[in-house]
Structure 1
Amino acid sequence: MGKFKSDAEQLLKLVGGKLNISAVTHCATRMRFVLADPKVADVKAIEALKSVKGTFTQAGQFQVIIGNEVPTFYNEFVAVAGIDGVSKDEVKVAAKGNMSFIQRLLAGLAEIFTPLIPALVVGGLILGFRNVIGDIKLLENGTKTIVEVSQFWAGVHSFLWLIGEAIFHFLPVGITWSISKKMGTTQILGIILGITLVSPQLLNAYAVAGAKEIPFWDFGFAKVQMIGYQAQVIPAMLAGFLLAFLETKLRKIVPEYISMIVVPFFALVPTVLIAHTILGPIGWKIGSAISFVVYTGLTSSLKWLFAALFGFAYAPLVITGLHHMTNAIDMQLVAEFGGTNLWPMIALSNIAQGSAVLGMIYVNRKDEDEKQVSIPACISCYLGVTEPAMFGINLKYVYPFLCAMTGSALAAVVSVGSGVMANSIGVGGLPGILSIKPQFMAVFAISMLIAVVVPFILTVIISKRKAATVLAGKEAVAK
């Protein structure tokens, strides 16, 4: 008998049986179901199973948190159920039937940026390291940087920019590729489109403001400015979706035997022209407006209020899936201002959720079954993966979730109030400090300490008061 066979059989029954499962797969820690009728699932009974650490519904999927042993659980489940599992992409497609228009829109946005996150995290770490060795005067009584003293580190500093430039300046290539991949169109055309937005023959986007003269293409009857869109998010997204739209429509009307020639040409060429004449300038203004509003909110006299609200509300945004929109805003802030003051608050929110779980570990330190769930959840949360902590512990008891939100809000106020900025997005937990600009690392460390201490203390205090109230109630009944 398999380790999870009994729980797998029970889970199959509790989700409504084989006929109620439209699709099932798994990720790193969770079983992901698309149910024909989600209301049939007995959530309370499922969460009571020994191997289940929590449940939640997101993006049209009913997700059951198992933990690191989910691959074994999944194999036993599909064997017991007598069904074939599918890929995560197929589950996402099936789940769209359970999603509203807004949910589908947000899911689409997440699917565009998710493949780019590893590169963005690496880029943020590289920029942070370059700042430490190249900008901070650490040597010779605080008069010289490491780069100024060591030829080796000067070489490292220069070499690492090769990677940093590839990630951030050429970000539009990744965006247009990701859109073509998501839309099921020709990915190499998406890559080529992205390159046309950042080609070396174009005036670099960062040099436009100080340029004495902007080069242009002269068509006789019209002139088009040769401006690049390095690091720009919105122009790349608009161009990518236009290319996907044109290619999809053309494939429906162009005969198969000439589609290889006609479709790429009439999809790519018009898109590049429209991108440089219409979509690029419009997208640039939209992106600048969004980043200006967010940056102003985070640097105005009311920045403490903005920070408190965002710090308090970010965790609930994760539950709804709305948090995915912050990736695009972060990258636009990086493009406009050379860093993001939004992302540090996200890292602090994740840390706060982990700290609330740490409080529950302390409170329930004699409960071995609870520790099997809470300890791995706390560790993963501190490393940036919040779902096991949020859904397996904090939302289960509710008050730790609120304690974490409170600690996150206080830490965000300190972070924003001190002007903390990150080079880019990074690992959304304790390692996140590596992505912070060096001059802000000390104050961000203080913010992290707040995000650790406040949720922990609040969770422990409220837990003890709840325990005391229950005990008093039992004594009153006994009398």
Structure 2
Amino acid sequence: MGKYEKDTKDLLAAIGGKENVSAVTHCATRMRFVLNDPKKANEEQIEEIPSVKGTFTNAGQFQVIIGNDVSVFYNEFKGVSGIEGISKEAAKSAAKQNQNLVQRGIAVLAEIFTPLLPAIVVGGLILGFRNILEAVPMGWLNGQTIVEVSQFWSGINSFLWLPGEAIFHFLPVGITWSIARKMGATEILGIVLGITLVSPQLLNAYAVNGTTAAEIARDWTWNFGFFTVDKIGYQAQVIPAMLAGFLLVYLERFFRKHIPEAVSMIFVPLLSLIPTIMAAHLVLGPIGWQIGTAISNVVNAGLTSNFSWLFGGLFGALYSPMVITGLHHTTLAIDTQLIADFGSTNLWPMICLSNIAQGAAVLAVVFEHRGNKKEEQVSIPSVISAWLGVTEPAMFGINLKYAYPFLAAMIGSGIAGLFITLFKVRALSIGVGGLPGILAILPQNYLIFAIGMVIAIVVPFILTIAFRRMGIFNKIDRIEAANVPTLDNEAPKKMGAIVDLFSPLAGNLAPLSSAKDPVFAEGLMGQGVVIDPSEGKLYAPFDGNISLLFPTKHAIGLISTEGTEVLIHIGIDTVQLDGKYFTSHVSQGDTVKKGQLLMEFDVAAIKAAGYEIQTPVIVTNGTDFQVDSLVADGPVTTDEKILTATAL
């Protein structure tokens, strides 16, 4: 009878039996299942199994945390179940069956926009700052804006338009490039395609609503004799750029398969790019505008109906998804018309509250993920940007990435929108978003709008934290802490002994809570730190033995002479590389000295393959040792002590 025979049988029954397992594999600490029906898995029953330390679902895979003995458990599970394991990549591919269309759509958006985040964050801060300079009347300036009274700040405001326009007006260029990059097409063709959507030869998208059909027909058309095409630009538009980008990719793939390699360099780019540009201006772009027009009509009807309060709730909740598509620009025309007809608008206040709600959700993520220095480089500026009226950094950088903060922000914005619509809150002007938006509100509505702002902050903040901690829409954050089994070949522990752990890597050290793998970040494997290595060399942190060397070489376990057990996991999900780019200089059971070279790995190649290189360094027998960090964060070398472990 195997060591885990009973546990593996119990696990097989609890996940719904053999017929419910589409695929199974494992990494250094977890069993990874792709289940035909995830609902059949009884999580409470699974977590009662003695060798199971927790469960969670990520990227369509149902993961069961076993610990360092996972390879033994996995082999016994295969024997008990009769299920053969598959490769990590095959499991990842099979896992897509458990992702619905919304999850897949969000994943695609995240992959497209992640490379654009640095520019989006900078652009958001710039536009938010310009809002304050040019759109907020200051009481201490007799109701004038800063740019109206200061030539210096007027010059700064004008200058900042240069990068602001480059980032947001020309966003389609970044989108088409990113799609080409993500899907393996020719990146320069993606850039050229994007430029054709925002060329100065086209009528700027922001000017379309103010240009008559006659003017467009006279000045902004291509005349092909028997038909004409409008010269319309798509500045800051997302849907036309995405549609065009995907069409370019699929055309290039098609022609690469059917055109001989000898002439492919000439004809593949030509036959991919030109038809895509034509389709973008003939079909894809106009479709985007039709979608925008339809939404505008719905908004206008809602604003004038007897159920405006209901519309306020719906619009408040749905404005953020409109921003994702770029369709929010269509609301500017409605706002302008409302101000012209009635002297004020009740649409813009809801937009301001949506900005605030997105920022509040990010603030909750900052609070829950405090200590994650790398994420804070995006999240904290995103809060500021959203509260100054530009939400793209908050949405694409944080809220859509985790999903549950985005939903929390939508709910909070909807409640706040319903509230202010009930009291008929109106704004005198548009352009001042986020927290400064209160300055555009009719003075008699200040108090109600201020209450609406509080709702838009408090509700998303509380819901984001609640969704995370309760596992609603985010099961990754629902893992319960558990004791982790110690490594094999335990060395004798000496009461009161102090073990110094030197950094096994040169690089940048951060708290364990900043780990991108929730199993490590939540402390399920023990206490320690994470290191972003600056070079691909791993050294022994102390004198001891190699207790575990995973076949894929991405994880290694050591035991010090005093009995301290340490797991070093090079990268996140690097088990899927199956040992590629890793070279081991030791074997399991070897005795090693502090500073001895254990492993070499190719940092650049691992990153190029799409994997995070962040490396957790964990003391796994924390019940026997008190672990104290000596370095909070910052650069470290292999000559520096980073942890002490005191035997209890």
Which TM-score band applies after superposition, normalised by the shorter structure?
0.5 to 0.7
Cα displacement (A) at 1:106: 5.2
Question: Identity of aligned pairs, percent?
Answer: 49
Determine the structure 2 residue equivalent to 1:470. none
Alignment partner of 1:348 is 2:347: no
Cα displacement (A) at 1:46: 7.4
Instruction: Answer yes or no: is the 8 Å Cα contact 1:197–1:229 preserved in 2.
Output: yes
Tell me the TM-score normalised to structure 2 length: 0.47
Determine the structure 1 residue equivalent to 2:232. 227
Determine the structure 2 residue equivalent to 1:35. 34
Cα displacement (A) at 1:121: 4.8
For 1:63 and 1:293, the matched residues in 2 are separated by 44
Determine the structure 1 residue equivalent to 2:164. 164
Alignment partner of 1:238 is 2:243: yes
Q: Secondary structure at the match of 2:236?
A: coil
Please list the CA deviations of residues 295-335 of structure 1 after superposition, one character each: whole Å capped at 9, or x if unmatched. Answer: 65467553421343576x78xxxxxxxx9954434x21136
Alignment partner of 1:278 is 2:273: no
Equivalent runs, 1:310-325 vs 2, <5 Å: 325=321
Change (3 A) 1:148 1:219: same
Change (3 A) 1:178 1:457: closer
- Count of residue correspondences: 390
Instruction: Answer yes or no: is the 8 Å Cα contact 1:217–1:224 preserved in 2.
Output: yes
Cα displacement (A) at 1:122: 4.0
Determine the structure 2 residue equivalent to 1:253. 258
Which of 269, 272, 277 is 1:267 aligned to? 272
Instruction: Answer yes or no: is the 8 Å Cα contact 1:299–1:419 preserved in 2.
Output: no
For 1:447 and 1:154, the matched residues in 2 are separated by 32
Instruction: Return 217-226 or 276-285, whichever deviates more.
Output: 217-226
Cα displacement (A) at 1:84: 13
Determine the structure 2 residue equivalent to 1:337. 332
Which of 271, 288, 292 is 1:287 aligned to? 292
Cα displacement (A) at 1:264: 0.8
For 2:118 and 2:425, the matched residues in 1 are separated by 28
Cα displacement (A) at 1:263: 0.8
Determine the structure 2 residue equivalent to 1:210. 211
Instruction: Answer yes or no: is the 8 Å Cα contact 2:175–2:194 preserved in 1.
Output: yes
Cα displacement (A) at 1:157: 0.5
Determine the structure 2 residue equivalent to 1:439. 440
For 2:454 and 2:53, the matched residues in 1 are separated by 27
For 2:201 and 2:28, the matched residues in 1 are separated by 46
Tell me the TM-score normalised to structure 1 length: 0.60
Please list the CA deviations of residues 225-244 of structure 1 after superposition, one character each: whole Å capped at 9, or x if unmatched. Answer: 33222223332233222212
For 2:404 and 2:229, the matched residues in 1 are separated by 52
Instruction: Answer yes or no: is the 8 Å Cα contact 1:295–1:333 preserved in 2.
Output: no
- What letter corresponds to residue 130 of structure 1 in structure 2? R
- What letter corresponds to residue 333 of structure 1 in structure 2? H
Determine the structure 1 residue equivalent to 2:181. 181
Q: Secondary structure at the match of 1:227?
A: coil
For 2:206 and 2:301, the matched residues in 1 are separated by 21
Gaps of 5+ in 1: 1-8, 65-72, 315-322, 358-371, 396-400, 425-431, 459-479
Instruction: Return 301-310 or 243-252, whichever deviates more.
Output: 301-310
Please list the CA deviations of residues 194-235 of structure 1 after superposition, one character each: whole Å capped at 9, or x if unmatched. Answer: 100111122222334336332333445544333222223332
For 1:142 and 1:196, the matched residues in 2 are separated by 45
For 2:73 and 2:431, the matched residues in 1 are separated by 48
Aligned-pair Cα RMSD in Å:
5.6
Gaps of 5+ in 2: 1-6, 16-20, 75-84, 336-347, 384-393, 464-648
Higher share in strand:
2
Alignment partner of 1:418 is 2:418: no
Larger radius of gyration: 2
Instruction: Answer yes or no: is the 8 Å Cα contact 2:356–2:457 preserved in 1.
Output: no
Instruction: Answer yes or no: is the 8 Å Cα contact 2:198–2:233 preserved in 1.
Output: yes
- What letter corresponds to residue 162 of structure 1 in structure 2? L
- What letter corresponds to residue 263 of structure 1 in structure 2? V
Q: Secondary structure at the match of 1:217?
A: strand
Determine the structure 1 residue equivalent to 2:615. none
Change (3 A) 1:252 1:390: closer
Determine the structure 1 residue equivalent to 2:473. none
For 1:389 and 1:241, the matched residues in 2 are separated by 25
For 2:462 and 2:171, the matched residues in 1 are separated by 42
Change (3 A) 1:95 1:121: farther
Q: Which has the higher contact order (CA 8 A, sep 6+)?
A: 1
Change (3 A) 1:56 1:278: same
